[in-house]
Homo-oligomer: A and B are copies of this chain.
Amino acid sequence: MAIMTNDEQQRRPEARKPRGFPDRTAAVIAAERRLVDSISSVYQRWGFDALDTGPFEYVDALGKFLPDTDRPNSGVFALQDDDEQWIALRYDHTAPLARYVAENWERIPKPFRRYSAGPVWRNEKPGPFRFREFIQCDADSVGVAGPAADAEMIAVAAEAMEAAGAARGEYVIRVNSRQLLDGLMESAGVIDGGQRGTVLRALDKFDKFGVEGVTLLLGKGRKDESGDFTQGAGLQANQIDVLLEFVTARKVNRAETIASLANTVGMTRAGATGVTELGEIDAILNALGLPEESVAFDPSIVRGLEYYTGPVFEAEFLREFRDAEGNPMRFGSVGGGGRYDGLVARFRGEPAPATGFSVGVSRLAAAMAASGEEKVDGPVLVLVLDKDQLADYATLASDLRRAGVRAEMYLGSSGMKPQMKYADRRNSPAVVIVGGNEREKGVVTIKDLKAGAAAAKGMTDNDAWRTERPGQFECPRAEMVARIKTIVGQS
């Protein structure tokens, strides 16, 4: 806890906080916990063991963000430790996993299956639903080659979406393959490394710009609405045709998509490998009972390709949320994954094939809270009317808690009206009132605030209901717990 000095008292600090790290209140936190718990349970059930590598890594171990300047700070939160070495907060769970596996190679079981659920930090420009700290839940298998491991990851991703609250049809895992894209580049005669990058970025825009826009980006370039011009890849029309045929090769089901891709890129070695792999993945997905609506093969998926080396996929959460004003909030991709055979080798030199999946829960949780889908019930409030009866009021609240009811005694010296206002602010389902009258009679007065609110909204036209559950009533002290449990729905 902080120590206050006279100095600080004199120059009063401003109560403000850094951008991109919003204060999260009860509903958001409840949604986060529910998501983390349910997704972790999926990983756990699939045989992944929990591992937390801690917040900091050396920047050279993290990769990507090397200390080429005196103070590296692009994308990560970095600082110098007291031994002068640069450390940074992890920006994902994968880079630390690679470090862990390399460091403990001789001691860990192989294949090494682990999951992680916790915050990662990105030193980026924050925005609405774009946080600088967010929670990711990852599962990874290290030391496994072959499509069975990839198929498993895709199935895990689908189960994670369902655990997050998406029914079948409310999510889709879209799968593509790095091998197929390698074959595609060969077929289309895209050989130059720089051009390859431009082409991949263009294909990645298919979702957004469609055939027309991507054709421009693959050819001479594209001018957007604001007049900004994006230089194109400068390909010939026949090359563009090959690329577009590939990107639009998704058919009604996985088997037909594979056949279509075999036609498009199956004649190249990489393409043929990719087609065979997708076939093996499909067989296992079928065995696991994953329908077409849950997992689609979609050649338009282009994803972190400098990093991935095999199958890649994205998890889309299709369910729509509406905020308090009724505006729809849609998510699109909430997670993704794929095969990354090079990351552990970066430390060890020897190959260590790996595949993984990561889902972000912070944006989802924020949407669930904003939509009112995730709510937290307030505590039952025991009013304090006679200051010399504190021990008695404390006992009443304690009796409720012992019965499992969320309850508190009002703390403070206000009168009844502010206490009722407080109960309202806290979203209390009920208050317990004991004044001199009640004490003499050995009763308590219970005010059912939910019933009161419902009555105020005209929802209680049914008189029988109103009689059965009046807004306010007296009952013997011995019945208080049972009556309150009925009100809060715990009886």
Which A residues lie at the B interface, using CB under 8 A? 1-5, 7-9, 12-18, 21-26, 29-30, 44-47, 49-58, 60-64, 66, 73, 77-79, 81-82, 85, 87, 92, 94-96, 98-100, 102-104, 109-111, 113, 119, 121, 123, 133, 141, 143-146, 148-149, 151-152, 280, 283-284, 286-289, 304, 306-307, 340, 342-343, 346-349, 358, 376, 378-379, 381, 390-392, 394-395, 398, 401, 404-413, 422, 425-426
Complexed CA–CA distance, A20 and B67 (Å): 22
Whether the Cβ atoms of A58 and B18 lie closer than 8 Å is yes
Contact A149 B411 (CB under 8 A): yes
CB neighbours (8 Å) of A9 from chain B are: 346
Of listed A7, A47, A49, A406, residue having the most chain B CB within 10 A? A47
Nearest B residue to A102 via CB reads B15
Using Cβ atoms and an 8 Å threshold, which residues of chain B touch A49? 25-26, 376, 426
Provide the residues of chain B in CB contact with A73, threshold 8 Å.
79, 82
A17 with B144: in contact, given A63-B8, A376-B49 (CB under 8 Å)? no
**Do residues A12 and B151 form an inter-chain contact, with CB atoms below 8 A?**
no
Question: Which residues of B have CB within 8 Å of A57?
Answer: 17-18
Complex CA gap A25/B44 in Å reads 13
Q: How far is the CB of A294 from chain B (nearest CB, A)?
A: 14
A1-B304 in contact given A9-B346, A18-B57, A287-B392 (Cβ < 8 Å) = yes
The one of B17, B53, B304 in contact with A56, judged by C-beta atoms closer than 8 angstroms, is B17
| 8 smallest beta-carbon distances between A and B, as pairs | A47-B408, A21-B54, A47-B379, A287-B391, A15-B102, A109-B425, A15-B103, A2-B63
